[in-house]
Amino acid sequence: MKNCFTIFVLSFSILGNAQRIEKVYDANWKETTQANIRYYSVIVKKDSLWQRQNVYIPERTLQMQGSYKDSTCKIKHGDFSYFHSNKNLQETGEYVNDKKEGIWLRFHSNKMLADSAFYIKGKIKGAK
């Protein structure tokens, strides 16, 4: 499993060598030990935001990438993309101060569009 971590650390070198936080989680997104890891997360300070990437460990694929205003990753801010474990895009859109903003798209694992919505300050807007 240690080699797995080395691979992921090297694959995230694009984020630079700035302030860096690495964590591992179980299937319920609880911090865990190496025995029952499902997700690996790396958080890197870049300019005024904290960029986070989560990886599905068994599949060695990206689960999520996005930016936060804080190192604890509580305030989402910027473009976010979520992925199915088969590497296909699951959902994408933008957060502004932890609220969805603009167009959000959601896809099935077979790449077919599942849903789309337009948000203003976290609330869906559209036809009434």
64-79 confidence digits (pLDDT tens): 999 999 999 999 999 9
Residue 83 amino acid letter: F
Which segment of 13-22, 47-56, 75-84 scores lowest on mean pLDDT?
A: 13-22
User: Which amino acid makes up residue 66?
Assistant: G
Q: From 49, 47, 27, 46, select the one nearest 36 (Cα to Cα).
A: 27
What pTM does this model have? 0.82
Lateral strand order in the sheet of 61-68: 20-25, 39-46, 49-56, 61-68, 78-83, 89-96, 99-107, 113-120, 123-125
